[in-house]
């Protein structure tokens, strides 16, 4: 006899519910069914379905990611795009955990929040536009090719491509904010030597790919640990 | 052709009254599982709450992820977790009850009865001290008759995790009851070693 059989014999076949139990339970259910409830909007229901039934989880995660992006420190590394390991990977986590729209939402909230607390790279609106554009990019690419989300290497490619596209927003906007003309910016760009271009592009590609892999890994860990954490802290999981 | 549970649940999104059919199909099964885990008083309450919650969350149900039956057991198991003290009291009650199912009332020798009661106490203690995640998996298989895949769907975990949790739960029981495999209906006294006879206090 194995453990399962032993347990089955230990407690016996189990008791059937009495007629009273069934009647009361049915009455409780009917009261819920008949109660005029305010159904959540179609948008909310869709968001909940996308989030795997738990909006609490995704909303909490969005708040954490937004705060983390807003407060991400500036390090003196001097490597172009290295901060994307933080903010871009968090946008990817939001898309993987919450579904379409969450990366854009968090990107927008982070941009506004960063501006509000005065931590924009150059203090202007354009300095934080990369969060918004990258958020839109993450949502758009993964909506068009959802299978990219299943492979960390594909996400690394997506991260590299996105950072390559948006990594230019801050330096170019910095130049315009500082009063440079289009011609001046062009001259500045064309004067960058080959080694400079290799360093710039290499950094963007490398850090973007790194952000993709980190985003995938964080989402993977969250998926595996979420129910355990929810049970521990008594958070509603949607089941 | 009869309507499947999944079709019924999806239909209940538009016509709420159809959810009642799911209640009729599954209430007794869910109740029996809850009754074994938390006893009759709480099973009455949690059985009703399981279906209320299922109804309230029917919009988030995804038929690709879990069959309705497994989904309902998942909800019931989540509710049991919030009442772990009641579950421990229930296990204590099992542990104190004589383990008569292994013996022929008329012929059981005194030493057989003593061993059987000791096994009951040890089994109760073993279940109570096991990790709750492992206990959920073991009891969904033993008391709800779910398959590994259904347990995985019910708990929202990969099937590999279910296997490893079940292995850990079995190991835990075997550690407390080293001669568990020697037990049978015909031979209620272990061949050697005996049980520890640990007493579980409710």
CA distance B38 to chain A (A): 11
The closest CB to that of A15, out of B32, B157, B169, belongs to: B32
Q: Where are the domains of chain A?
A: 51-233
Residues of A in contact with B48 (CB under 8 A): 24-25, 28-29
Q: Is A119 on the interface with B (CB under 8 A)?
A: no
Q: What is the ipTM of this complex?
A: 0.73
d(CA A189, CA A191): 5
- pLDDT of amino acid A81: 81
The CA-atom distances, in angstroms, between A133 and each of A101, A169, A215 are 12, 9, 17
pLDDT along chain A (239 residues), means of 10: 78 82 89 71 68 75 91 78 89 90 92 86 74 92 88 92 83 72 74 71 88 92 72 57
Asked if B69 and B25 touch (Cβ cutoff 8 Å), the reply is no
Q: How many residues does chain B have?
A: 202
Q: How confident is the model at residue B202 (pLDDT cuts 50, 70, 90)?
A: very low
**Residue A24 burial by Cβ neighbours in a 10 Å radius (0-12, 13-18, 19+):** middle
- Whether A237 contacts A227, CB under 8 Å: yes
Report the CATH architecture of B1-82: Orthogonal Bundle (1.10)
How far is the C-alpha of B95 from the C-alpha of B97, rounded, in Å?
Answer: 6
- Does B55 sit within 8 Å of A29, measured CB to CB? yes
Whole-model pTM? 0.52
pLDDT at B118 over 80: no
Best CA proximity match to A207, nearest among A147, A145, A164? A164
Cβ–Cβ under 8 Å, residues B60 and B73: no
Q: CA of A56, closest CA in chain B: separation in Å?
A: 13
Among B27, B120, B157, the residue with its CB nearest the CB of A10 is B120
Give the list of residues 6+ apart from residue A152 with CB closer than 8 angstroms, or none: A212, A213, A216, A217
Half-sphere exposure of B36 toward its Cβ, with a 13 Å CA cutoff? 25
Query: What's chain B's average pLDDT?
Result: 78
The domain locations on chain B are 1-82, 102-202
Class of domain B102-202: mainly alpha
Within 8 A by CB and 6+ apart from B125, the residues are B91, B95, B176, B198, B199, B200
Residue B90, CA atoms < 13 Å, CB-side half-sphere: 20
Show Cβ contacts of residue A91 under 8 Å, excluding neighbours closer than 6 positions.
A65, A69, A103, A106, A107, A131, A134, A135, A138, A215
Nearest CA in chain B to A33: B16
């Amino acid at each position: 006899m194995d453990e399962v059989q032993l347990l089955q014999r230990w407690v016996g076949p189990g008791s059937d519910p009495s007629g009273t139990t069934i009647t009361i339970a049915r009455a409780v259910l009917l009261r819920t069914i008949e109660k005029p409830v305010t159904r959540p909007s179609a948008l909310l229901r869709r968001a909940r379905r996308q989030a795997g039934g738990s909006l609490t989880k995704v909303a909490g995660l969005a708040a954490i990611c937004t705060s983390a992006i807003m407060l991400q420190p500036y390090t003196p590394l001097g490597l172009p795009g290295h901060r994307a390991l933080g903010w871009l990977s968090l946008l990817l986590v939001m898309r993987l955990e919450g579904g379409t729209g969450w990366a854009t939402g968090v990107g927008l909230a982070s941009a506004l929040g960063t501006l509000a607390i005065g931590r924009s790279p150059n203090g202007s609106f354009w300095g934080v536009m990369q969060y918004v554009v990258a958020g839109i990019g993450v949502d758009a690419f993964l909506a068009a090719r959802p299978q990219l989300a299943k492979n960390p290497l594909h996400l690394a490619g997506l991260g590299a491509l996105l950072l390559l596209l948006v990594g230019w927003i801050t330096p170019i906007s910095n130049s315009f904010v500082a009063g440079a003309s289009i011609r001046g910016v062009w001259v500045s760009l064309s004067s960058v030597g080959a080694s400079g271009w290799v360093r710039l592009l290499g950094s963007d590609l490398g850090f973007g790919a790194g952000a993709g892999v980190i985003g995938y890994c964080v989402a993977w860990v969250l998926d595996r640990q979420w129910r355990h954490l929810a049970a521990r802290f008594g958070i509603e999981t949607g089941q | 052709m009869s309507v499947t549970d999944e079709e019924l649940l999806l239909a209940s999104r538009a016509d709420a009254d159809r959810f009642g059919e799911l209640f009729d199909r599954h209430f007794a099964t869910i109740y029996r599982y809850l009754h074994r885990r938390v006893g009759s008083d709480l099973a009455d309450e949690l059985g009703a709450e399981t279906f209320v919650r299922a109804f309230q969350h029917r919009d988030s149900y995804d038929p690709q992820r879990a069959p309705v039956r497994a989904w309902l057991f998942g909800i019931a198991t989540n509710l049991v977790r919030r009442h772990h003290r009641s579950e421990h009291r229930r296990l204590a009650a099992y542990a104190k009850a004589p383990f008569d199912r292994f013996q022929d009332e008329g012929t059981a020798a005194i030493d057989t009865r003593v061993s059987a009661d000791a096994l009951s106490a040890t089994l109760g203690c073993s279940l109570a001290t096991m990790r709750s995640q492992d206990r959920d998996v073991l009891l969904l298989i033993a008391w709800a008759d779910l398959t590994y895949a259904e347990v995985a769907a019910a708990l929202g975990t990969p099937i590999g995790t279910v296997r490893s949790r079940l292995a850990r739960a079995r190991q835990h029981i075997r550690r407390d009851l080293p001669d568990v495999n020697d037990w049978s209906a015909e031979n209620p006294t272990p061949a050697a070693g005996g049980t520890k006879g640990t007493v579980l206090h409710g």
